[in-house]
Amino acid sequence: MTVATARAHPNIALVKYWGKRDRVLNLPAVPSLSLTLDRFRTRTTVVWGAEADAVELDGKVAPAPRAARVLALLDLVDPRRPPCRVVSESNFPVAAGLASSSSAFAALALAASAAAGADTDPTALSRLARRGSGSACRSLWGGFVEWPLGERPDGADCHGMPLAPATHWDVAMVVAIVSGAPKPMGSTEAMEHARRTSPCYPTWVRTASDDVASARAAVLSRDLERLGEVMESSTHKMHATLHTARPPLHYELPATIACLHAVRALRERGVGAWSTMDAGPNVKVLCERFDAAEVVVALSDHVERVEVLGPGGDPVLEPR
């Protein structure tokens, strides 16, 4: 029996991953670019060689479909693996809509590979984490991370790549928690629904590479206005594929829209703030760290809870 414990941070896409070209290998239809966050993290222990398979998430036995996703990742580490025990907890509310699957599968890939004595090179782990949840492949590095499309049909070149470390740029991501209610549809299903039924989906795919190129240049030159504009554009194009799907899907709630207007009003007052949303109603606002307090005040008029996060670091393995 061997045991390993890993910690990883969630990431927020600045240019979104939305749509798959291969559902079995989990290969994306578009490239994406993200920021790994600090403070929030998932901590996962894997016992490689237990009496029976067991998965515990946030203090409770995992529901069968979630346990199956976790165990499927262990099978990829070693198809002839022994029974394993996985215990995972996150220090942030799932309701925050902070892509908890990104930190969960990054921490699981690292803990499982270390416990199994397998490859723990971040690129190998990123390929593995991608199979659990696409966005997780970007959480294998801190700071700004790119996930290029790759060209190979087997997905060997489809993994995250560090663009700039957390220390590169002291931005803030201010999260307005609009609702903790269960989402109408999870991201895996929603992106497939958009791919099958939205007339906007081909435009979404066609314009994504240019968005990543622009965001990459903006990150490297620390140009917040350029990054904010491309982030908002990527967000609204992604949500347009949902608004135009059949039947349509709107993750936005009234308070979501109020927050988007508040961010625009901040900009009209000269505060550099830009918004993004993922597959949920919460609004995340990118700004310089010194503007975060003003952004919090503006969002607090519309939601009860606001969190301020900054760029976070790489996943770590806890010493034994």
- 181 sits in the region (left: phi over 0; alpha: psi -120 to 50; else beta) called beta
Residue with tokens 């990829």: 76
Nearer to ligand DP6, 26 or 103 (CB): 26
CB of 252 to ligand DP6, least distance (A): 13
Q: Which of 5, 9, 10, 17 binds ligand DP6 (CB under 6 A)?
A: 17
Q: Which of 10, 31, 134, 150 binds ligand DP6 (CB under 6 A)?
A: 134
**Hey, which residues between 183 and 202 contact ligand DP6 (CB under 6 A)?**
187-188
Nearer to ligand DP6, 32 or 42 (CB): 32
Nearer to ligand DP6, 17 or 48 (CB): 17
Nearer to ligand DP6, 4 or 155 (CB): 155
Pairing assessment for the beta strands 84-90 and 54-57 based on DSSP bridges: parallel
Choose one: 88-96, 107-115, 131-139, 292-300; the region binding ligand DP6 (CB under 6 A). 131-139
The residue count for binding ligand DP6 (CB under 6 A) is 15
User: Could you say whether residue 26 binds ligand DP6 (CB under 6 A)?
Assistant: yes
**Hey, which residues between 277 and 306 contact ligand DP6 (CB under 6 A)?**
278-279
Q: Which of 5, 44, 100, 101 binds ligand DP6 (CB under 6 A)?
A: 101
Closest to 289 measured CA to CA, from 99, 92, 93, 38 = 38
Spatial separation of the C-alpha atoms in residues 194 and 309, rounded to whole Å: 30
Per-residue buried b or exposed e for 75-113, using 16+ beta carbons within 10 Å of the residue's own CB: ebbeeebeebbbbbebebeebbbbbbbbbbbbbbbbbbb
User: Could you say whether residue 204 binds ligand DP6 (CB under 6 A)?
Assistant: no
Closest to 17 measured CA to CA, from 2, 4, 29 = 29
Spatial separation of the C-alpha atoms in residues 306 and 232, rounded to whole Å: 20
Spatial separation of the C-alpha atoms in residues 275 and 77, rounded to whole Å: 38
Summarize as ranges the residues that interact with ligand DP6 (CB under 6 A). Answer: 13, 16-18, 26, 32, 99, 101, 133-135, 187-188, 278-279
